Amino acid sequence: MDWVNEWKRKWKKRINHVMRTGHGNETRRGALKKLGSAVLLGAAPVATGLAQLPRTEATPDFRIRNGRIRQSVMGWCFNPMPVMDLARACREIGLAAMEGISEDHYQGIRDLGLEIALVGSHGFSRGPVSRDNIQYCVDILKRKIDVAKAVGSSRVITFTGMVEKGTSPEKSASNCVECWKAVMSHAEKQGISLCLEHLNSRDDSHPMKGHPGYFGDDIELCIDMIKRVDSPNMKLLFDIYHVQIMHGDVIRRIRSYHPWIGHYHTAGNPGRSELDDTQEINYPAILHEILKTGYEGFVAQEFIPTWDDSIAALRHAAQVCDI
For 114-153, b/e burial (b = at least 16 CB within 10 A) is bbbbbbbbbebebbbbbeebbeebbebbbebbebbbeeeb
Helix (H, G, I), strand (E, B) or coil at 117: strand
Query: What is the per-residue DSSP string for 66-79?
Result: S-SSEEEEBGGGGT
> Does residue 17 carry a pLDDT above 70?
no
Q: Where are the beta strands (DSSP E) in 128-246?
A: 155-158, 193-197, 234-239
Q: Quick one: pLDDT band at residue 183, thresholds 50, 70, 90?
A: very high
- Give residue 42's region: left, alpha or beta (phi > 0; psi -120 to 50): left
Residue 101's nearest CA partner among 157, 149, 154, 141 is: 157
> Does residue 5 carry a pLDDT above 70?
no
CB 73 within 8 A of CB 84: no
> Does residue 22 carry a pLDDT above 80?
no
On average, the pLDDT of the chain sits at 89
> Does residue 45 carry a pLDDT above 80?
no
CB atoms within 10 A of CB 36: 17
Query: Percent of the chain having pLDDT more than 70?
Result: 84
pLDDT at 52: 81
Average pLDDT over residues 143-149: 98
Give the global pTM.
Answer: 0.85
Q: Quick one: pLDDT band at residue 51, thresholds 50, 70, 90?
A: low
Sequence letter at residue 224: D
> Does residue 37 carry a pLDDT above 90?
no
Cα–Cα distance for residue pair 10/28, rounded to 1 Å: 14
pLDDT at 56: 87
> Does residue 281 carry a pLDDT above 70?
yes
User: What confidence tens digit (pLDDT) does each residue in 79-122 have?
Assistant: 999 999 999 999 999 999 999 999 999 999 999 999 999 999 99
CB atoms within 10 A of CB 171: 14
Average pLDDT over residues 6-28: 45
pLDDT at 41: 36
234 bridge partner residues: 194
